[in-house]
Amino acid sequence: MSSSTTPAALKAAILIVSTTAAQDPATDSADVTLRQVFEEQQHGSQWEVHESKIVPDDVVQIQKQIMLWTDKTSNGEEVNLIVTTGGTGFAVSDQTPEAVSALLHKEAPGLVHGMLAASLQVTPFAMMSRPVAGVRNGTVIITLPGSPKGARENLQAVIKLLPHACLQAAGANSRALHVGGVKRLEKEAGVEGGQGGERGRGHGHGHGHGDGHGHKHHGHGGHRGRGGGGGGGGGGCGAHGHGDSHGHNHGHNHGALVRHTTPSSSSNPKSNDPTLGPSRRHRESPYPMLSVTEALSQIAQHTPSPQIVTAKVGCSLVGAVLAQDVSARENVPAFRASIVDGYAVVVPQDGNMRGVFPVVSVSHAAPGEDMPTLKEGEVARITTGAPLPPGATSVIMVEDTVLVSTVKTGEDGVEEEKEVEILAADQVHECENVREVGSDIKQGQLILGMGVQVSAVGGEIGLLAAVGVGEVQVYRRPVVGVLSTGDEIVDHDLAGDLRLGEVRDTNRPTLISAARAWGYEVVDLGVARDKAGTLEETLRQALRQVDVVITTGGVSMGELDLLKPTIERSLGGTIHFGRVAMKPGKPTTFATVPVKDNDGERVSKVIFSLPGNPASALVTFHLFVLQSLHQLSGISPSGLPKVPVTLGHDFPLDRSRPEYHRAIVSVNRDGVLTAVTTGGQRSSMIGSMKGANALLALPSGPEPLRKGSKVEALLMGSLRSDM
């Protein structure tokens, strides 16, 4: 194999993360510096800097730009490498590593070590950088520090190896790439390896398989190698099976165990095995108890990225988030228009418009009429919003004129104005009472930025409509499915009395309404019985139709609580959390499941399994599900808005768990937000949600929180006004 597999140039993109540079690109010098480093490689033939962009220290903006480069879109072309610079330190505003790591499909700690090791040799301050590196889709991403010098050193430390990483990440045939071993790779990359035979240490624990089969494959099966054999070429394990020796000649993963699937926790489920019966179930939940903050960060991390679609501008756009910057297609107004009802005039040099003038024409707001050119000494009657006749320079308000004479026109004998006198107008300026072309909105001007959510208030739709934009790119809003589970659950509108044990389905209508009210399309998935097979089939069906499944019930510790085992064991999903330290809502479960979409692509879909108790279900919907839905639809910040409120009375606290207390928050004349409870807070009591517009985030504690204390409230509905 020669290096002919290497394409002429790899595409790199540079993302400058700096709030200062975003405001004033002239302040940036990292771009030039990094471009130089790329230029220096193989006389500029190895890398082509495809694009550089500047974004402020803002997670969403960083992520959006990266995704534009990494996620296949119809118009875009992916790049091989993204280097970010800036935002890797410890300052509050530094969040590049967090923004980037959330996007990585694979992490590359080796590159991070490489960069840190190199820059530590220069300065101990390298410890103040928190780089991350990895792969998203086919693109390698590394975060460099913000100082041009640091950025250069870090990039130089790894750049020789990046072509190889990029080609592999992009899907190049890795076997072909590896022919000739690491030596060849090093030579091609122009880097020196470690000290001779020591190389490969840490990779090559080839403890022989000891099972005596003479199979041909070689390498380091040590970790998973069957049988003992211990050391010394326990038989037939191929050329590299030499005991615990580290000395073989390369450390790459050639041959040996080939794993075609990525291990996931689904191969090691925590959930009960339902076939074992109640006596063998866990008696304590095996899921670690996460704090609400940790749970939210799991959701942030594992919710799939939003997808971009084209949408027509119209009423259905309300709630959508723009995935592009939108510029005005047309000027508003498109013609010179009068701001008032009055007379269009041609202002003479001296500005003196006093006198009596003939009314030579009329301009109404009706379009398409040709108008004669107005001359000095003539006036044209004009209505608000109508185009000025050609030649007119100003408009005099009707209030500043008097009618002097009229004339009868046509057969119907309607009286028309013949002459008007303009009063007290000796200082008239050009363009008075005129809206110039494009004076409201200029053609080409940015009217709405990427990330803007189209409100129901109307301003955004109005802008798009005014400038003639018919279609926009938006984030696709996920479709939600709502499923109740439980043998005892009957439809809420079941006629007649309930039989012993039956419970009316409260959660389905509640959650469907809540999700719809937030602008999401909802599929009613009905009620599933507490049978493993039924539940699995229902969920599979659901995952074909919707992006996010919300189930309620079946997540407690009973033997009929089948959600977790079904997700893990039958659907191959990953449960990211199954217990949260909160009241209500402790068993809230969040999982993602691999699913093939209509195009046969593997995608990840989200399941929230909420507790069955109605108040718990609705609280956890607002706290957790909504954040994921927002994220999927590009809404940022995601989740309910937070406001500080003052307690209107004492609130008892739970001793061990923070509580999300349902409350009514109102604002008084002085702008003070006061919260009062909705009453009993037991998790079965849906009435605790009645009238509630907020969830108070109460800490745990032994004593009540006193009237007048300040707490954070999450707003579910609009504020009540006591004014």
Residue nearest to Mg ion (CB): 486
Q: Does 584 bind ligand AMP (CB under 6 A)?
A: no
Q: Which is nearer to Mg ion, 28 or 530 (CB)?
A: 530
Q: Which is nearer to Mg ion, 238 or 553 (CB)?
A: 553
The listed partner (ligand AMP, Mg ion, none) that binds 627, CB under 5 to 8 Å by sort, is none
Q: Which is nearer to ligand AMP, 229 or 587 (CB)?
A: 587
Nearest approach, Cβ of residue 661 and ligand AMP (Å) = 20
The listed partner (ligand AMP, Mg ion, none) that binds 613, CB under 5 to 8 Å by sort, is ligand AMP
Do residues 476 and 309 make contact, with C-beta atoms less than 8 angstroms apart? yes
Contact stretch for ligand AMP (CB under 6 A) within 158-166, 218-226, 410-418, 481-489: 481-489
Query: What separation, in Å, do the N-terminal and C-terminal C-alpha atoms of the chain show?
Result: 80
Closest CA to 527 of 544, 504, 546: 504
Q: Which is nearer to Mg ion, 460 or 561 (CB)?
A: 561
- If DSSP codes are grouped into helix, strand and coil, which group holds residue 346? coil
Do residues 59 and 95 make contact, with C-beta atoms less than 8 angstroms apart? yes
Among 12, 292, 326, 555, binds ligand AMP (CB under 6 A): 555
Nearest approach, Cβ of residue 242 and ligand AMP (Å) = 56
Residue nearest to ligand AMP (CB): 612
DSSP string, 19-56: HHHHH-GGG--HHHHHHHHHHHGGGGTSEEEEEEEEE-
Do residues 584 and 555 make contact, with C-beta atoms less than 8 angstroms apart? no
Cα 304 to Cα 284: distance, rounded to the nearest angstrom: 31
Q: How far is CA 327 from CA 442, 443, 454, in A?
A: 9, 7, 15
Contact stretch for ligand AMP (CB under 6 A) within 73-81, 446-454, 612-620, 664-672: 612-620
Q: Which is nearer to ligand AMP, 148 or 554 (CB)?
A: 554
* Residue-wise burial string across 384-413, b where 16 or more C-beta atoms lie within 10 A, e elsewhere: ebbbbbebbbbbbbbebbeeeeeeeeeeee
Contact stretch for ligand AMP (CB under 6 A) within 61-69, 402-410, 565-573, 608-616: 608-616
Number of residues that bind ligand AMP (CB under 6 A): 19
* Rg of the chain, C-alpha, whole Å: 34
Q: Does 287 bind ligand AMP (CB under 6 A)?
A: no
Q: Does 148 bind Mg ion (CB under 5 A)?
A: no
Cα 102 to Cα 104: distance, rounded to the nearest angstrom: 6
Nearest approach, Cβ of residue 437 and ligand AMP (Å) = 60
The listed partner (ligand AMP, Mg ion, none) that binds 552, CB under 5 to 8 Å by sort, is ligand AMP
Site map 490..519 versus ligand AMP, x via CB under 6 A: -------------x-xxxx-----------
- Range 216-275, binding ligand AMP (CB under 6 A): none
Closest CA to 334 of 465, 460, 458, 440: 440
Q: Are strands 47-55 and 81-85 parallel, antiparallel or unpaired?
A: unpaired
Q: Which is nearer to ligand AMP, 313 or 525 (CB)?
A: 525
The listed partner (ligand AMP, Mg ion, none) that binds 453, CB under 5 to 8 Å by sort, is none
The listed partner (ligand AMP, Mg ion, none) that binds 638, CB under 5 to 8 Å by sort, is none
- Range 456-495, binding Mg ion (CB under 5 A): 486
Find the Cα–Cα–Cα–Cα dihedral 411, 417, 418, 420, rounded to 10°: 180
Q: Does 585 bind ligand AMP (CB under 6 A)?
A: no
Nearest approach, Cβ of residue 485 and Mg ion (Å) = 6
Nearest approach, Cβ of residue 560 and ligand AMP (Å) = 7
Contact stretch for ligand AMP (CB under 6 A) within 64-72, 352-360, 607-615, 645-653: 607-615
Determine the distance from the C-alpha atom of residue 216 to the mean position of all C-alpha atoms in its chain, rounded to a whole number. 48
Nearest approach, Cβ of residue 621 and Mg ion (Å) = 17
- Range 288-307, binding Mg ion (CB under 5 A): none
Q: Does 578 bind ligand AMP (CB under 6 A)?
A: no
- If DSSP codes are grouped into helix, strand and coil, which group holds residue 628? helix
Nearest approach, Cβ of residue 486 and ligand AMP (Å) = 5
Among 298, 484, 628, 677, binds ligand AMP (CB under 6 A): 484
Q: Does 634 bind Mg ion (CB under 5 A)?
A: no
Q: Does 481 bind ligand AMP (CB under 6 A)?
A: no
Cα 570 to Cα 165: distance, rounded to the nearest angstrom: 35
Q: Does 565 bind Mg ion (CB under 5 A)?
A: no
- If DSSP codes are grouped into helix, strand and coil, which group holds residue 345? strand
The listed partner (Mg ion, ligand AMP, none) that binds 210, CB under 5 to 8 Å by sort, is none
Q: Which residues on neighbouring strands pair with residue 485, listed in sequence order?
A: 528
Nearest approach, Cβ of residue 571 and ligand AMP (Å) = 19
Closest CA to 563 of 594, 596, 587, 595: 587
Q: Does 278 bind ligand AMP (CB under 6 A)?
A: no
Q: Which is nearer to ligand AMP, 454 or 685 (CB)?
A: 685
Q: Does 612 bind ligand AMP (CB under 6 A)?
A: yes
Return left, alpha or beta for 25; rule: phi > 0 is left, psi -120 to 50 is alpha, else beta. alpha
Q: Does 554 bind ligand AMP (CB under 6 A)?
A: yes
Nearest approach, Cβ of residue 495 and ligand AMP (Å) = 18
Do residues 487 and 500 make contact, with C-beta atoms less than 8 angstroms apart? no
Do residues 311 and 474 make contact, with C-beta atoms less than 8 angstroms apart? yes
Cα 41 to Cα 45: distance, rounded to the nearest angstrom: 7
Among 225, 229, 553, 611, binds Mg ion (CB under 5 A): 553
Q: Which is nearer to Mg ion, 432 or 561 (CB)?
A: 561
Q: Which is nearer to ligand AMP, 410 or 496 (CB)?
A: 496
Residues 6+ apart with CB under 8 A from 670: none
Q: Which is nearer to ligand AMP, 137 or 556 (CB)?
A: 556
**For 36, phi and psi rounded to 5 degrees?**
-60, -45
The listed partner (Mg ion, ligand AMP, none) that binds 611, CB under 5 to 8 Å by sort, is ligand AMP
Q: Which is nearer to ligand AMP, 486 or 565 (CB)?
A: 486
Dihedral sign from CA coordinates of 403, 407, 409, 414 = positive
The listed partner (Mg ion, ligand AMP, none) that binds 507, CB under 5 to 8 Å by sort, is ligand AMP
Q: Residue for token digits 């875009």? A: 76
Strands, E, within 533-687: which ranges? 548-552, 574-577, 589-596, 602-610, 642-647, 659-667, 673-677
- If DSSP codes are grouped into helix, strand and coil, which group holds residue 275? helix
Closest CA to 561 of 511, 506, 618, 486: 486
Nearest approach, Cβ of residue 503 and Mg ion (Å) = 9
Q: Residue for token digits 């165990």? A: 257
The listed partner (ligand AMP, Mg ion, none) that binds 57, CB under 5 to 8 Å by sort, is none
Cα 443 to Cα 244: distance, rounded to the nearest angstrom: 72
Strands, E, within 139-253: which ranges? 139-144
Number of residues that bind Mg ion (CB under 5 A): 3
The listed partner (Mg ion, ligand AMP, none) that binds 484, CB under 5 to 8 Å by sort, is ligand AMP
Residues that bind ligand AMP (CB under 6 A): 484, 486, 488-489, 503, 505-508, 552-556, 558, 611-614
Residues that bind Mg ion (CB under 5 A): 486, 553-554
